Structure 1
Amino acid sequence: MIIPMEQIEADTLDNLIQAFVLREGTDYGETEYSMQEKVAQVKQQLINKQAVIVYSELHESVDIVPADQFPLPSE
């Protein structure tokens, strides 16, 4: 189930994004980015609907995934 980012408290959202960034260990190429910059990039992807926050009832876990990997309901 998709959880709209607006339903998550700001501190909780930041912690969720930080955990995602640390877990992913993403290689950003030649340029190194600070944790704050990486968090801002992921948050912008959530705002732009390029990524979504997904809750798995089966695994009782929350993750951030690219929007194209999780079909959005038709509006």
Structure 2
Amino acid sequence: MIIPWQDIESETLNNLIEAFVLREGTDYGEHERSLAQKVDDVRRQLQSGDVVLVWSELHESINFMPRGQFRADAEEQE
């Protein structure tokens, strides 16, 4: 289920984004990016609609997913 990120308190949303960025452990290549830059990237993707905030009832967890991946996963479950 998609959770409207606009309905989440700013500090809570920021904490969710930080936790996501920190657990991803992604290698950004030649130039390392700061936590603040990574958080801004995720926030920008949320605002543009490229990424959605998803509640998984099965796993009882919140995650960020590319919108297209969420749609594909939802279609597979139907």
TM-score over 0.5 for the alignment? yes
Q: After TM superposition, list the pairs within 5 Å mapping 1:29-44 onto structure 2.
A: 29-44=29-44
How many residues were matched structurally? Answer: 71
Q: Percent of counterpart pairs with the same letter?
A: 58
Give 2:51's aligned residue: 51
Superposed, 1:1-75 pairs within 5 Å as 1-71=1-71
Displacement of 1:32 after TM fit?
1.1
Counterpart CA distance in 2 for 1:58 and 1:68 is 20
CA distance in 1, matches of 2:20, 2:33: 15
Q: List structure 1 runs of 4+ shifted beyond 2 angstroms.
A: none
SS in 2 for 1:59: coil
Amino acid at match of 2:7: Q
The structure carrying a bigger helix percent of its residues is 2
Specify every segment of 5 or more residues in structure 1 that has no aligned partner in the other structure, as ranges: none
State the shift of 1:31 in Å: 1.1
Give unmatched runs, 5+ long, in structure 2.
72-78
Q: TM-score by structure 2 length?
A: 0.86
Across the aligned residues of Structure 1 and Structure 2, the Cα RMSD in angstroms comes to: 0.8
Q: TM-score, normalised by structure 1?
A: 0.89
